[in-house]
Amino acid sequence: MNADNNKNGYSRRKFIKNTGGTVLSGGLLLAFPLKLNAESVKKQSGITASPTDAPRVERIAADPRNIPAPIKRSTPKTHTITLESKDLIAEIEDGVQFKYMTYGGQVPGPMIRVRQGDTIILTFKNNSNNTVIHNVDFHAVYGTGGGSDATTCPPGMSRTIKFKVLYPEAFIYHCAVPNLDMHISSGMFGMILVEPPEGLPEVDHEFYFGQHEVYTDKKAGEKGMHNFNMESMEDENPTYVLLNGAKYAITEKRYGTLNVKRDETARIFLVTGGPNLTCNFHPIGNVWTKSWREGAIAGHPERYVQTCHVPPGSCGIFEMEFPVPSTIKLVDHALSRVARKGMMATITVAGEERPELFATDL
């Protein structure tokens, strides 16, 4: 085998160039500077003027309904899980293209659902079509870097770790290479839910969302390929603030609203990737009947919360009731993010009117 290429055809010289690293005797020594400026991060990330070196997909937004079912068992289990990073090009909105970095080809990454006391054997794969190193940091893990050191690998390679989840909560997982803020902004974050042994209260629906902000070199809505803008990220001035990776993704304007019936209940899981902005999560036309801040499901919920902070690098668990037919807007109540940057999802509640609770045209 040629010394400069691995079996997946990925050039070792290309990897060194993209990472700023050195290969010694077959081992990898990363030589990242302690202080990363925009230009050095850009070089280490392999960012080019036209980042078209990735497969194109029609949809990047995760379906909020596509999550594992609640856990019913009462004994611990060992899970074998593979999590794969995929760099993909998709549309933020009509005509606006962007190169995302993802877990599993979606934003947020797949929701992992386990029980307190379970053991996870996790294989992290860096897809061979990618051009830079990736890894995964689980906030649910006792261990160096939440497992990020042990999962760091270049394109075309994989690494496996084993860990036991000892405390219940909804936790973020995210990429944690030195330029982690750029990778998270590009979509590399998700949730691992560790249920308590007794499980969660029964509800009629469960939905999974992830908020993050995207920094590009063009104005919001400007057609064409948007490149990542490191300077805007340093200034914390995003072009878009998104729920599930695309502008108004989970609404009738894009991939469709969520649907429930009057008198049903729902549980909402939210992970805030950030990397910089706190979500001020609010259901317009409703209220969080129960709210577990930081996803701390082992504690008692707050009741009837109108708006709840979910900071970057954290999660929230919320329950809702639907006593009247309506359209509920899930928003960040920093409302310019809704009106101008794309942050909103909707839930449509069907059923008979209840004029004793809400009436119009009086």
Helix (H, G, I), strand (E, B) or coil at 326: strand
Model confidence at 266, in pLDDT bands (50, 70, 90)? very high
As a whole number, mean pLDDT of residues 180-189 equals 98
| Structure confidence by residue, pLDDT tens digits, 136-148 | 999 999 999 999 9
Average pLDDT, the chain: 89
Rounded distance between C-alpha atoms, residue 216 and residue 208, angstroms: 26
pLDDT at 51: 54
Q: What is the CATH number of domain 205-350?
A: 2.60.40.420
Residue 80: how many other CB atoms lie within 10 Å: 11
Whether 157 and 126 have beta carbons less than 8 Å apart is answered as: yes
* Model confidence at 16: pLDDT above 90: no
pLDDT at 362: 85
Rounded distance between C-alpha atoms, residue 68 and residue 147, angstroms: 23
Q: What is the DSSP string of 18-85?
A: HHTEEEETTEEEE---SS--HHHHHHHHT--SS---S-B-S--BPPTT-SPPPP--SS--EEEEEEEE
pLDDT at 46: 43
Q: What share of the chain is helix, strand, coil (3-state, %, to 5)?
A: 10, 40, 50
- CATH 2.60.40.420-classified regions of the chain: 78-195, 205-350
Provide the CATH topology of domain 78-195: Immunoglobulin-like (2.60.40)
Q: Which of 18-22, 160-164, 189-193, 295-299 comes out lowest in average pLDDT? A: 18-22
pLDDT at 44: 45
As a whole number, mean pLDDT of residues 337-362 equals 96
- Count Cα atoms within 13 angstroms, Cβ side, for 233: 26
Q: Which of 29-43, 125-139, 238-252 comes out lowest in average pLDDT? A: 29-43
How far, in whole angstroms, is CA 248 from its chain's centroid? 16
pLDDT at 45: 44
| Structure confidence by residue, pLDDT tens digits, 279-327 | 999 999 999 999 999 999 999 999 999 999 999 999 999 999 999 999 9
| Structure confidence by residue, pLDDT tens digits, 31-74 | 333 333 444 434 444 443 345 689 999 999 999 999 999 999 99
As a whole number, mean pLDDT of residues 245-261 equals 97
pLDDT at 21: 36
pLDDT at 49: 35
* Model confidence at 177: pLDDT above 60: yes
Rounded distance between C-alpha atoms, residue 258 and residue 264, angstroms: 13
